[in-house]
């Protein structure tokens, strides 16, 4: 499913404005934001807990919860990157390039094995 086109920096700015309007910068240390990300990932996992290996694990009954929890993780990750001085788009590009080098298609296509 394609995403709605939107600039990640505009999302970063919107998250920052949302926090600033509420005077939440004082609470948004890297540590606190990281712990919030971990907590929200747990809430995301809770949506599909006990669903077993059914496909798809996201049903119409739990789709809104799934989307909301995923958005919470995304918002907090963007906020964490912003508050800790990480250019998330550059970090993404650099990390994906490292993964391309570590997992060349001709050696890893169709394989779940880990690189050594």
31-72 pLDDT per residue, tens:
999 999 999 999 999 999 888 887 877 989 999 999 999 999
- Count CB atoms within 10 A of the CB of residue 104: 10
Domains of the chain, by residue range, sit at 8-85, 88-116
Q: Which class is domain 8-85?
A: mainly alpha
Question: Residue 28: which of 12, 6, 41, 9 has the closest Cα?
Answer: 12
Q: pLDDT tier at 1 (50, 70, 90 boundaries)? A: confident
What is the distance between the alpha carbons of residues 25 and 18, in angstroms, rounded to a whole number?
10
pLDDT at 53: 83
User: How far is the C-alpha of 65 from the C-alpha of 73, rounded, in Å?
Assistant: 12
pLDDT of residue 52: 81
């Amino acid at each position: 499913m394609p995403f709605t086109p939107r600039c990640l920096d505009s999302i970063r700015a919107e998250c920052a404005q949302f926090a600033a309007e509420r005077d939440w910068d004082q609470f948004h240390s890297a540590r606190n934001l990281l712990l919030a990300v971990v907590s929200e990932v747990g809430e995301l996992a809770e949506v599909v807990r006990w669903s077993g290996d059914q496909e798809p694990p996201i049903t119409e009954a739990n789709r809104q919860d799934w989307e909301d929890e995923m958005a919470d993780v995304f918002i907090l990750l963007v906020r964490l990157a912003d508050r800790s001085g990480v250019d998330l788009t550059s970090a993404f590009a650099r990390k994906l390039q490292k993964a391309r080098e570590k997992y060349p298609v001709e050696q890893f296509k169709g394989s779940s094995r880990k690189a050594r």
